[in-house]
Structure 1
Amino acid sequence: MAARVVSPTGRGFLLLDSHPAGCFRSVTDMVAQIPPKAGSQDRKVALVIGSSAGYGLAATLAGLVRHGIDGVGVAFERPPGRRTGTAGWYRTIATAAVAEEAGSDFTFLNADAFADTTKDEVLDLLEKRFGKLDLLVYSVAAPRRTDPRSGTTYQSVIKPLGAAHTTRTLEFDADGTPALRDVTATPAGEDEAADTVRVMGGEDWSRWVTALADRGLLREGFRTVALSYIGSSLTSAIYRDGTIGAAKVHLERTAEELDERLRPIGGRALTSVNGAAVTQASTAIPGIALYVSVLHAVLGDALQSPVEQSVQLWEQLTGAAPLDLDEQGRLRLDRWELDPAVQAAVAERWRAITPETIAEVADVAWFRAQFRGLYGFDVPGVDYSEPIDPDLDWPAPR
């Protein structure tokens, strides 16, 4: 593919192309948020499922830079072709460069994490290169899942349970002007709710841990964490009390089951409840874009980024800091978001939002820049008028 000017085209919160240089720069900016290594550390072997986007990407970078982890990252990204590669394709190339600079033996696989063939490939690689695994971070947000054992494809839905729900959502015109729209989501049927749990619940996470255990690849003291979210009462009807929330409850129950199974080797299985963030997964949820825009208007720089939260996650997983658990045994990285004073301020602004006041009450300019940045656009320091060759190769195994 010849070098060309890459521009943001698409509809809503879905862009069709990604800018390689912008994706590279966004990874550089994330690395700049990570404190350097603190003294000599034992190198941990880690597996990150979902290493190319959102919290999975942040966790991968924090582990590489702060703790010098070795291991494997698994992601499922579209390569360049008629269009550019996906943003995660380019972010993985940049992350591989970070791993090399950190001196880490870290390999990235572009494969479907749900497939048994992927599990076999990853386990073979871990066994050959490292022998045992110390840490597994599970961060998968997928719209569908094909169960390789039954051949059935399950589709997730973002719907309330029990009754329809109307919420306000943030949109942008073609010129970037913010708009407010009411969206009504119909309640999920039983099959839709069950399918969403099959996609986003803990079944695949459990299969990964089982496969590793059956191959004898879990090191004494092995720890695993699956990333989750609770969020505000303002978004609970469509999120925590909806189909996605049901999947998160299943994830938490899976953590309890895995934790019991890992006790004989001194292991732990936890869910990590992270705070709100602008990710490609979260922008698909009605009301979340507006909520996060208001949250940033309240908190400003005190809104903790995925990288900042991931640094805390690694500190706790490696024992450098004590586990901050709630009464359900969930690791909590979202206390800053759910602080009662913060939520009261967000609720006050939420009630005050109108089509005329939206730009004053919510930080919509920040949100739009963050959303476009997910695809490598609007990233400071990048010249978007310069042609660039998007035909770049996935990083070769190290």
Structure 2
Amino acid sequence: MVIKPKIKGSLALNCHPVGCKEEVLNQIKYVENSKKYKGAKKVLIIGASSGYGLATRISLAFGGSDSDTIGVSFEREGSKRKVGSAGWYSNIWFREEAEKKGLIAKNILGDAFSHNMKEEVIKYIKEEFGGKIDLLVYSLASGMRTDPDTNKIYKSNLRPQGESLTGFTFNVEKESMEEVTLSPATEEDLTNTVKVMGGEDWELWVKALIEANVVSEGFKTMAYSYIGPAVMEGIYRHGTIGSAKEHLEKTARDLDEVLKDEKSGEAYVAVNKAIVTKASAYIPIFPLYASALMRVMEEKGIEENAIEHTHRLFADMVYGDKPEFDSEKRMRPDSWELRDDVQEEVLEIYKKVTENNFKELTDFDKYKTEFLKLNGFKVEGVNYEEDVDLEELSKLKP
């Protein structure tokens, strides 16, 4: 079966398993040829199958720490007739490469928000993972959450607060720029988004792990967040998602106090740079900003994709000698993105961009390439005219 990308609007409908493998191998190769560091040996990553979560797992396993990892994710399995999700294959390819190195790379698939998942992970840590973990990275991105106590379903809603917001976004399928107007969020929208994207589940994970006595002395936990510049404030920091991130950051401060007292540990949020991820592609207005940012940072020689940014975060900051914290104890690897000279040039592009010139003013081609790479397309070294044997791939186990 020859697999070609299927896109509807800005939603990818399929993936290329061989491309997913090559992309994992490319990220591993980058890390192996980059700065080395010594970090946690036993790591749990919630949301480990793509974007920053997958990059975190690769950096920790292949960047000098030789970390054993447990990756929790929710992915669609492939079959003899249907291609599974990109994360399904990325999990498998990562595990295979890590095991070649003699590392433990356990993939546990299911609903990370559920009590059952927490119990399953804790059981595995106790019985097969050495009994304790040193690091928990929370990198979960989901549009929906079922409350584990009430079974009520909450759906996030990415809207501005207070008044409507009009801006431009990309239609990747049509390679066009389209104007969107977002109505202001209701109180229910705000509550639901905080419930899904805030820090509640992260806190439940940390407390469950502590109560089960499966965290080591000096245990560290971090969650990924984003702040962004003034041009993104309407949809991001001043929108529903911004309230969710504020809740996440408050959770970090609360957890930090708990861990200091109980484990001499720490908790904080790492504020990452804007990149193309499966989650960010859904955020209205964000794609246009990200493509302008790519162009400016590329011209200045400081552009980073997920693995480059994540590896710098761990090698220089988390386990290095160049940590950058702000006054609210948020780690700030996004400082390159928010440099004054970068943002001034991005804003100039933003002021001039139209539906007719956006491909010339921004780096739309790079944006689309990164979007396709998330699902195994446009990856160097892959022959996309060759048949993919789905029956053989269906034999793979996570």
With normalisation by structure 1, the TM-score equals 0.94
Q: 1:322 to 1:294 in 2, by over 3 A?
A: closer
Contact 2:92 2:397 (8 Å CA) reproduced: no
Residue correspondence of structure 1 range 2-151 to structure 2 within 5 A? 4-35=1-32, 41=38, 44-66=41-63, 67-81=65-79, 83-129=82-128, 130-151=130-151
Residue correspondence of structure 1 range 247-258 to structure 2 within 5 A? 247-258=244-255
Q: 1:201 aligns to what?
A: 198
- 2:231 is the alignment partner of 1:227: no
Q: 1:191 to 1:40 in 2, by over 3 A?
A: closer
- 2:162 is the alignment partner of 1:162: yes
- 2:339 is the alignment partner of 1:339: yes
Q: 1:292 aligns to what?
A: 290
Aligned equivalents of 1:231, 1:281: Cα separation in 2: 15
Contact 2:15 2:377 (8 Å CA) reproduced: yes
Q: 2:272 aligns with which of 274, 287, 297?
A: 274
Aligned equivalents of 2:396, 2:99: Cα separation in 1: 11
Q: 1:213 to 1:236 in 2, by over 3 A?
A: same
Output one character per residue of 1:215-240: Cα deviation in whole Å (capped at 9) or x when no partner. Answer: 11111100000000011211111111
Q: 1:254 to 1:39 in 2, by over 3 A?
A: closer
Residue correspondence of structure 1 range 308-319 to structure 2 within 5 A? 308-315=308-315, 319=319
Q: 1:75 to 1:365 in 2, by over 3 A?
A: same
Q: 1:366 to 1:322 in 2, by over 3 A?
A: closer
Letter of the 1:371 partner, please give it.
F
The DSSP-based 3-state class of the residue aligned with 1:222 is strand
Deviation at residue 41 of structure 1 after TM alignment: 5.0
Aligned equivalents of 2:328, 2:227: Cα separation in 1: 13
Aligned equivalents of 2:46, 2:20: Cα separation in 1: 20
Aligned equivalents of 1:317, 1:298: Cα separation in 2: 24
Aligned equivalents of 1:38, 1:376: Cα separation in 2: 26
Letter of the 2:166 partner, please give it.
T
Aligned equivalents of 2:53, 2:344: Cα separation in 1: 30
Q: 1:213 aligns to what?
A: 210
Aligned equivalents of 2:232, 2:39: Cα separation in 1: 41
Deviation at residue 156 of structure 1 after TM alignment: 0.4
Of 165-174 and 64-73, the range deviating more from structure 2: 165-174
Aligned equivalents of 1:255, 1:273: Cα separation in 2: 12
Output one character per residue of 1:99-154: Cα deviation in whole Å (capped at 9) or x when no partner. Answer: 11332112111111101101000001111121111000000110100011111010
Q: 1:87 to 1:42 in 2, by over 3 A?
A: closer
Aligned equivalents of 1:138, 1:158: Cα separation in 2: 21
Contact 2:72 2:109 (8 Å CA) reproduced: yes
Aligned equivalents of 2:385, 2:179: Cα separation in 1: 36
Aligned equivalents of 2:255, 2:37: Cα separation in 1: 31
Letter of the 1:148 partner, please give it.
P
Aligned equivalents of 1:356, 1:167: Cα separation in 2: 15
Deviation at residue 43 of structure 1 after TM alignment: 6.0
CA RMSD of aligned residues (A): 1.8
Structure 1: gaps of 5 or more residues: none
Q: 2:281 aligns to what?
A: 283
Letter of the 2:50 partner, please give it.
A
The DSSP-based 3-state class of the residue aligned with 1:302 is coil
Of 317-326 and 83-92, the range deviating more from structure 2: 317-326
Contact 2:37 2:320 (8 Å CA) reproduced: no
Letter of the 2:358 partner, please give it.
I
Of 58-67 and 96-105, the range deviating more from structure 2: 96-105
Contact 1:37 1:65 (8 Å CA) reproduced: no
Aligned equivalents of 1:395, 1:71: Cα separation in 2: 19
Aligned equivalents of 2:70, 2:356: Cα separation in 1: 49
Deviation at residue 393 of structure 1 after TM alignment: 5.0
Aligned equivalents of 2:37, 2:276: Cα separation in 1: 34
Deviation at residue 172 of structure 1 after TM alignment: 3.7
Q: 1:39 to 1:189 in 2, by over 3 A?
A: closer
Q: How many residues align?
A: 391
Aligned equivalents of 1:372, 1:40: Cα separation in 2: 31
Aligned equivalents of 1:190, 1:39: Cα separation in 2: 47
Deviation at residue 32 of structure 1 after TM alignment: 2.2
Aligned equivalents of 2:69, 2:348: Cα separation in 1: 46
The DSSP-based 3-state class of the residue aligned with 2:120 is helix
